[in-house]
Amino acid sequence: MSLQQEIIERLGVKPEIDPNEEIRRRVDFLKEYVLKSGTTGLLIAISGGIDSAVATGLCKKATDELSAETGKEYMTLGVFLPYGEQADIAHSYEVAEAFNLKHRMELDIKEAVDEIALEVEYGLKMIGMSRHISRGSKGNVKARTRMVMQYALSFDLNLLVVGTDHASEAVTGFYTKWGDGAVDITPLTSLNKRQVRQLAAVLGVPQSVRDKAPTAGLWEGQTDESELGITYDDNSAYLEGKTVSDEAREKLERQYLKTVHKREPIPGI
């Protein structure tokens, strides 16, 4: 078995999908787990990107159906978590409007993140290193602070925190371990980026969101593809078992092998 075949099997990606069938399967998955967990709904952080938009559409469909079927109100809470002024925050609101989210809130993480960064820099001085926290480290602090906010809300509201992790992120390890990768449930897991886009078109994700360049929003101008040097077209084709250029295949497989630890449980002895 080639490494490509091993990766596809590990991540569970299909070579092609029926978007309507996948939507139904993933909505049912969410509904079943909400009932099993005894929670009152789902919390999704809406970044303004396509992944969180698709997850929002699935969540809202799931909680609407649960409310209709049980006579009890189930909530999808959409949370916007900008770091100060977010240039594309309007896209988050577009998504909330598109799916008629009744419950939504915007919480600014800037002050909390900056205070953490200052404390880290103070700690570095204590070991003789007078320097600023690195850009990458501060980006990870943003991701983890967003999760702290989500779990503070989910605890008091008895909600499950929904992640947007999917196979195209998993293969490259392009997420913050135990940051944005630490959630209760992930309805997009076995989809690649192209397939997420297929679901977006059927669910009614706004075109402006579907057309955006994918970004984790960790610093100004950052995009996934420029950071990794791999296009999502090549990434998706690889996960569908297709032939890609040697350069793209080598980059993807190198990223996969380098980030094995991110996909493993916490080790112990």
Residue 246, C-beta contacts closer than 8 angstroms, at least 6 positions apart: none
A 10 A CB-CB count for 125 gives 11
What is 3-108+139-263's CATH topology? Rossmann fold (3.40.50)
Cα 194 from Cα 125, distance rounded (Å): 46
pLDDT digit of tens for each residue in the chain (269 aa)? 899 999 999 999 999 999 999 999 999 999 999 999 999 999 999 999 999 999 999 999 999 999 999 999 999 999 999 999 988 899 999 999 999 999 999 999 999 999 999 999 999 999 999 999 999 899 899 999 999 999 999 999 999 999 999 999 999 988 877 777 789 999 999 999 999 999 999 999 999 999 887 766 666 666 777 777 889 999 999 999 999 999 999 999 999 999 999 888 888 99
Is 179:164 a contact under the CB 8 Å cutoff? no
Cα 195 from Cα 17, distance rounded (Å): 7
Please list the active-site residues.
51, 169
| Amino acid sitting at position 256 | Y
Residue 100, C-beta contacts closer than 8 angstroms, at least 6 positions apart: 60
Domain spans, the chain:
3-108+139-263
Q: How many helices (H) and strands (E) does the chain have?
A: 12, 4
Helix 246-258 / helix 232-239 crossing angle, nearest 10 deg: 80
pTM above 0.85, yes or no: yes
Cα 17 from Cα 22, distance rounded (Å): 7
